[in-house]
């Protein structure tokens, strides 16, 4: 059996939080506790094998960044043992470790030297790092004038070009323009494909599933689940869905008891092939059932539905008022369905927004959000987000003869 490249044994991280600066001195003098214990991590153990990719997932405050900081050597555990048997490069907070008064070029040399590279190795890597970062003339200007996106470019360029055995990436890649984000993700894909080891923390579960074999789900500093990424991500998505529905139900109940809203959405369900589901494939039928209630039968209602990719990119919207349908009225309880016969989406994770609107479609009575509503899985590698029917004409100048054209139906997505 190969030896683990990284091993965590019963790791714990406990912080002491003092409400006032003098409380530290009081504690030393009186020998009585004047601090609050904050348990960021408790009894965490796992092994990471060479060439394996591990995702760290969980809600904000779960302990993900604390764990990655320990693995990167930024902080040490309060208890337990951590063994790292390879060179590691980390991208945690943007620009962390950069000297603000030094230029980007000088920070490259300083950071690479701190990672143990020799002078000759550093000089050989500097042009590659500068080229990847695409900072241009800014590379010879002080880092203190860099934007957050420029800091991210420089930090990521250094982290991947020093060719570490372990790459540790936190949420930093969520900052920056879409072009460079894609460039970073392509580089991570190459890093993983080359058999290197990746520790990846992200709320973008699509990336998590694409790059990692295993996932570690943290909840309040403890391990909630550790196992194959598909299984753990599916459990985490179900947890988020249940939590969101419970919060909405409580909010709706509060509105009813307090006499708040004039109308409230009570249920949103997705249907596929006659059963509840959150996983679809390209061209599957998709059906959304919406229920709402009101205390005033004279109110009139329109419905609006929006589908966004999980990173916030708007995909499409639907509206009964935009489709020329009359508003609904005259009842206390309503049910409506929106059906899409064949999803044109190729792949990805998607959020769902439902709006309960007035008769003009301008005022929002209530809204309902499913943050991780559904995913579309591709049967093979797909480029792009949607597929549309189209036709190629490869010899338009030879229109007098038989055209060399090919019509591609939506079912033949490439």
Range scoring the smallest mean pLDDT among 10-24, 82-96, 204-218: 82-96
CB 206 within 8 A of CB 348: yes
User: CB under 8 Å to 165, separation ≥6 — which residues?
Assistant: 5, 50, 86, 87, 88, 196, 197
Higher pLDDT, 340 or 371: 340
Helix, strand, coil percentages, rounded to 5, for the chain = 30, 35, 35
Q: What's the average model confidence in pLDDT over 362-376? A: 85
For residue 408, what pLDDT band results from cuts at 50, 70 and 90?
Answer: low
* pLDDT confidence of residue 52: 92
Structure tokens belonging to residue 304: 């609006």
Average pLDDT over all residues of the chain: 82
Contacts of 279 (CB under 8 A, 6+ apart): 374, 375, 377
Confidence of residue 177 (pLDDT cuts 50, 70, 90): low
User: Predicted confidence band at 113 (pLDDT cuts at 50, 70, 90)?
Assistant: confident
Mean pLDDT of the region 71-86: 87
| The predicted structure's pLDDT at residue 9 | 92
Greater pLDDT, 268 or 118:
268
Give me the pLDDT at residue 224, please: 93
Query: What pLDDT does 260 receive?
Result: 57
Q: Say whether pLDDT at 412 is over 70.
A: no
Task: Give the whole-angstrom CA distance, residue 251 versus residue 264.
Answer: 10
Proportion of the chain above pLDDT 70, given as a percent: 86
Whether the pLDDT of residue 256 is over 60: the answer is: no
Give the pLDDT of residue 255. 52
| Torsion on CA atoms 290, 317, 171, 196, rounded to nearest 10 | 100
What pLDDT score was predicted for residue 249?
Answer: 65
Place of tokens 């790791």: 11
Note the pLDDT of residue 34: 79
Instruction: Quickly state the pLDDT bin for 182 (edges 50, 70, 90).
Output: confident
Distance in angstroms (rounded) separating the CA atoms of residues 365 and 188: 44
Q: How confident is the model at residue 389 (pLDDT cuts 50, 70, 90)?
A: confident
DSSP labels for 37-96?
EEEEEEEEEEEE-TT-EEEEE--TTSSHHHHHHHHTTSS--SEEEEEE-S-EEEE-STTT
Tell me what pLDDT residue 407 has.
55
What is the rounded CA–CA span in Å between residue 129 and residue 147?
18
How far is residue 68's CA from residue 90's CA, in Å, rounded to a whole number? 9
**Measured distance CA(176)–CA(173) in Å, rounded:** 7
Look at the chain and count its residues: 414
Q: Can you give the pTM of this predicted structure?
A: 0.58
Of 255, 253, 355, 365, the residue nearest 299 (C-alpha): 365
Q: Which residues pair with 308 in a beta bridge?
A: 314, 351
User: Does residue 275 register a pLDDT over 60?
Assistant: no
Higher pLDDT, 96 or 307: 307
Rounded Cα distance, 201 and 168, in Å:
8
Per-residue pLDDT band for 158 (boundaries 50, 70, 90) equals: confident
User: Which percentage of the chain shows pLDDT scores above 90?
Assistant: 23
pLDDT of residue 173: 62
**pLDDT greater than 60 at residue 411:** no
Is the model's pLDDT at 125 over the cut of 70? yes
How far is 168 from 265, CA to CA, in rounded Å?
42
User: Is a pLDDT exceeding 80 seen at residue 172?
Assistant: no
235 pLDDT above the threshold of 70: yes
How many Å apart are CA 373 and CA 53, to the nearest integer?
A: 26
- Could you tell me the two tokens for 130? 């500068």
What is the mean pLDDT of the segment spanning 252-265?
65
Indicate the pLDDT class of residue 414, thresholds 50, 70 and 90: very low
Task: Measure the CA–CA gap between 346 and 326, rounded to whole angstroms.
Answer: 33
Tell me the domains of the chain and their CATH numbers: 6-235 (3.40.50.300), 261-392+401-414 (2.70.50.60)
Task: Please state, as a whole number, how many other Cβ atoms lie within 10 Å of the Cβ of residue 380.
Answer: 7
Q: Is the pLDDT assigned to residue 65 strictly greater than 80?
A: yes
In this structure, of 11-15, 85-89, 170-174, the range with the lowest mean pLDDT score is 170-174
* Gyration radius of the chain over CA positions: 27
Mean pLDDT, residues 317-338: 93
pLDDT value of position 401: 53
How do residues 83-100 score in pLDDT, each as one tens digit? 988 788 877 655 556 888
CA atoms within 13 Å, Cβ hemisphere of 255: 18
pLDDT at res. 402: 53
Residue 277 reports pLDDT greater than 70: no
DSSP SS3 for 391 = strand
């Amino acid at each position: 059996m190969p030896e683990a490249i990284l091993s965590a044994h019963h790791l714990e991280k406990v912080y002491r939080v003092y409400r006032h600066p003098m409380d530290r001195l009081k504690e030393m003098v009186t020998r009585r506790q004047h601090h609050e214990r904050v348990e960021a991590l408790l009894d965490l153990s796992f092994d990471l094998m060479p060439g394996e990719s591990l995702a760290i997932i969980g809600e904000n405050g779960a302990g993900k960044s604390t764990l990655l900081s320990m693995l990167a050597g930024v902080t040490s555990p309060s208890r337990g043992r951590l063994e790292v048997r390879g060179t590691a490069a980390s991208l945690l907070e943007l620009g962390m470790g950069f000297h603000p008064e030094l230029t980007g070029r000088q920070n490259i040399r300083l950071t690479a030297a701190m990672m143990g590279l020799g002078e000759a190795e550093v000089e050989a890597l500097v042009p590659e790092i500068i080229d990847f970062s695409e900072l241009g003339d800014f590379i010879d200007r002080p880092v203190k004038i860099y934007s957050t996106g420029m800091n991210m470019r420089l930090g990521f360029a250094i982290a991947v070009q020093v060719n570490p055995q372990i790459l540790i990436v936190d949420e930093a890649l969520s900052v920056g323009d879409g072009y460079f984000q894609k460039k970073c993700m392509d580089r991570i894909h190459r890093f993983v494909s080359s058999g290197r080891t990746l520790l990846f923390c992200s709320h973008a579960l699509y990336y998590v599933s694409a790059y990692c074999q295993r996932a570690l789900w943290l909840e309040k500093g403890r391990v909630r689940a550790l196992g194959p990424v598909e299984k753990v991500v599916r459990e985490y998505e179900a947890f988020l869905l249940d939590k969101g529905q419970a919060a909405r139900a409580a909010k709706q109940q509060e509105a009813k008891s307090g006499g708040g809203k004039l109308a409230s959405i009570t249920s949103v369900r997705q249907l596929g092939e006659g059963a509840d589901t959150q996983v679809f494939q390209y061209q599957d039928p998709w059906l959304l059932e919406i229920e709402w209630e009101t205390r005033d039968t004279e109110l009139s209602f329109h419905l609006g539905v929006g589908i966004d990719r999980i990173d916030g990119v708007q995909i499409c919207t639907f509206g009964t008022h935009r489709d020329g349908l009359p508003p609904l009225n005259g009842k206390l309880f309503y049910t409506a369905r929106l059906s899409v016969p064949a999803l044109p989406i190729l792949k990805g994770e998607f959020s769902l927004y439902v709006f309960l609107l007035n008769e003009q479609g301008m005022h929002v009575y209530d809204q309902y959000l499913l943050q991780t509503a559904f995913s579309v899985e591709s049967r093979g590698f797909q480029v792009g987000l949607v597929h549309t029917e189209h036709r190629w004409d490869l010899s338009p100048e030879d229109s007098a003869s038989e055209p060399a054209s090919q019509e591609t139906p939506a079912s033949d997505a490439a």
